[in-house]
Amino acid sequence: MALAIGVMGAGSIGCYVGGRLLARGHDVLFIGRERIRAELTAHDLRLTDIGGAAEVVAKERVRVETEAAMLADRDVILVCVKSAQSEEAGRALASVVRKDALIVSMQNGVRNAETLRQVMPGKIVLGGIVGFNVVSKDTGTFQRGTTGPLAIEMPADPADVVARVEALGAALTESGFETELPTDIRSKQWSKLMMNLNNAVSALSGAPTPQLIFTPGYRRVLRALIGEALMVLDAAKIRPARLGAIPVRYFPTLLALPTAVLRVAARAQLQMDPEARSSMWEDLMRGRMTEVDFLNGEIVALAKTCGASAPLNARIVEMVHDAENENKGSPGLTPDALWSALDQ
Q: Is 31 in the site for ligand NAP (CB under 6 A)?
A: yes
H helices within 99-184, ranges in order?
A: 112-119, 159-174
> Least CB distance from residue 146 to ligand NAP, whole Å?
8
Q: Choose, by CB under 6 A, the member of 26, 40, 78, 107 that binds ligand NAP.
A: 107
The closest alpha carbon to 299, from 287, 289, 308, 286, belongs to: 308
| Residue nearer to ligand NAP on the CB measure, 275 or 336 | 275
Q: Choose, by CB under 6 A, the member of 47, 62, 71, 81 that binds ligand NAP.
A: 81
Using omega within 30 degrees of 0 as the cis cutoff, is the peptide bond preceding 155 cis?
no
| Residue nearer to ligand NAP on the CB measure, 136 or 296 | 136
DSSP designation for 242: P
Q: Is 292 in the site for ligand NAP (CB under 6 A)?
A: no
DSSP lists the bridge partners of residue 220 as none
> Rounded to whole angstroms, how far apart are CA atoms 185 and 156?
12
Per CB under 6 A, the segment of 38-46, 76-84, 95-103, 308-316 that binds ligand NAP is: 76-84
Q: Is 48 in the site for ligand NAP (CB under 6 A)?
A: no
In which order are the strands placed within the sheet that holds 63-65?
Answer: 63-65, 27-31, 4-8, 76-79, 102-105, 124-130, 150-152, 179-180
Does an H or E element contain 136, and which? Answer: strand 134-136
> Rounded to whole angstroms, how far apart are CA atoms 40 and 37?
5
Residue nearest to ligand NAP (CB): 11
Q: If DSSP codes are grouped into helix, strand and coil, which group holds residue 109?
A: coil
Q: What is the length of the chain? A: 344
Query: Is the CB of residue 158 less than 8 Å from the CB of residue 9?
Result: no
Q: Choose, by CB under 6 A, the member of 5, 13, 168, 222 that binds ligand NAP.
A: 13
Q: Is 229 in the site for ligand NAP (CB under 6 A)?
A: no
Q: Choose, by CB under 6 A, the member of 48, 205, 279, 296 that binds ligand NAP.
A: 279
| Residue nearer to ligand NAP on the CB measure, 133 or 313 | 133
Query: Is the CB of residue 241 less than 8 Å from the CB of residue 191?
Result: yes
CB atoms within 10 A of CB 74: 25
Per CB under 6 A, the segment of 30-38, 70-78, 156-164, 330-338 that binds ligand NAP is: 30-38
Q: Is 83 in the site for ligand NAP (CB under 6 A)?
A: yes
Q: Is 92 in the site for ligand NAP (CB under 6 A)?
A: yes
Does an H or E element contain 225, and which? Answer: helix 216-235
| Residue nearer to ligand NAP on the CB measure, 228 or 291 | 291
Q: Interface residues for ligand NAP in 122-181 (CB under 6 A)? A: 130, 133-134, 136
Q: Choose, by CB under 6 A, the member of 88, 100, 114, 184 that binds ligand NAP.
A: 88
Q: Choose, by CB under 6 A, the member of 291, 297, 302, 335 that binds ligand NAP.
A: 291
> Least CB distance from residue 261 to ligand NAP, whole Å?
27
Q: Choose, by CB under 6 A, the member of 78, 97, 108, 197 that binds ligand NAP.
A: 108
> Rounded to whole angstroms, how far apart are CA atoms 22 and 45?
10
Residues 6+ apart with CB under 8 A from 313: 197, 225, 228, 229, 296, 297, 299, 300
> Least CB distance from residue 89 to ligand NAP, whole Å?
5
Q: Is 230 in the site for ligand NAP (CB under 6 A)?
A: no
| Residue nearer to ligand NAP on the CB measure, 175 or 279 | 279
Residues binding ligand NAP (CB under 6 A): 9, 11-14, 31-33, 36, 80-83, 85, 88-89, 92, 106-108, 130, 133-134, 136, 279, 288, 291
